[in-house]
Structure 1
Amino acid sequence: MADLAPGFADVALDSQAVFRACMNALARPALPQPLATELAPPAPLTPELAALALAMADHEAPLWLDAALRGEPGVRRYLAFHTGARFVEDPAEATFALIGDAAACPPFERFALGSDEYPDRSTTLLIAVNRLEAAEEFVFTGPGIKEPIGLGIAPLPSGFRQQLHANAALFPRGVDLIFTTTRRIAALPRSSRLIGEA
């Protein structure tokens, strides 16, 4: 393990800071928030995705990695060592799904969507993107959004707009989405509704 990249310098404080940033993003959907981290995980795992995983995943919260991240053995070793989480092959069994290639993100329906009795038993998708900023590409309303707010995200898989509409229609079931880019994070909880045509 001598060549393993380090995790948080201060596990308690750094985890709390990342968790707080995540909660702020979920409380203010579609509004980019700062996410500072000094992590240097093995590529193609980004520092921001690594920070979220280290702050939230553990032995009770299994991880699913997309093909881009599974293709680098060092990523799995890094996450296993620093989180203690087990890895699942079926995305529907994951508490958290790490998506390194947003354009190839599987359809939401492949992940755990929760049930009417236990809507919290769903997958949270942690997605690395190149662009995450205020824009009018996608405009949202819903809890935590005082006035309609726009968000620009790229890259994205084809049919993403339709998937957002379908996900919101499942509420209280559905997946939650957390996007990251360099030192930024933005969330789209399942309660957020996309304005515009599907």
Structure 2
Amino acid sequence: MLRGALAALLELEADLTVVGVAGDGDEAVRVASDAAPDVCLMDIQMPGMDGIAATQAVRAASPATRVLIVTTFARPGYLRSALDAGASGFVVKDAPAEQLADAVRRVHVGLRVVDPALAEASLFDGANPLSERERQVLRLAADGRSAAAIAAEVFLSAGTVRNNLSAAIGKVGAANRAQAVRIAQDKGWI
């Protein structure tokens, strides 16, 4: 419903044309590859391939296409990940329609667009302190898996997984793994 509403709002703009819509990351990559749009609007959390991976794939499949992240998940870690993946902008879905259309236009001409409140939060929250392995084990720990179960999935020893979880807990300033997961999710680091 929201996807259709965004498309309809953008179609009301005389200088903007919607050339395709997609329901998940994999479909977004296919549509962008086929249609080669000037600007692709992308969400962060979608079924299948997430918006960060889909942004990288869209940029690889259609290098001239610029990606604008439009999401309800305004988290500093997501902003950094999106920009690292090749996104040209990051705005929140509750922005007024005029702001969204203006963001599309600005990204189209090669400018970067970042929600001001999110940019401020990113500056003051700092960069993601977690290594890729620490992010991986925290993501797997999010559903309550034991260190042994995580170890079996990522082909590490249970001791190495416990060390990575301990390091992540310390880096995010948490008291335990559940709190570390929650903090990392809230900041968009996992």
Taking structure 2 as the reference length, what is the TM-score of the superposition?
A: 0.30
Bigger helix share: 2
Q: Which of the two has higher C-alpha Rg?
A: 2
Task: Determine which structure has greater relative contact order: mean sequence separation of CA pairs < 8 Å that are 6+ residues apart, divided by chain length.
Answer: 1
Bigger strand share: 1
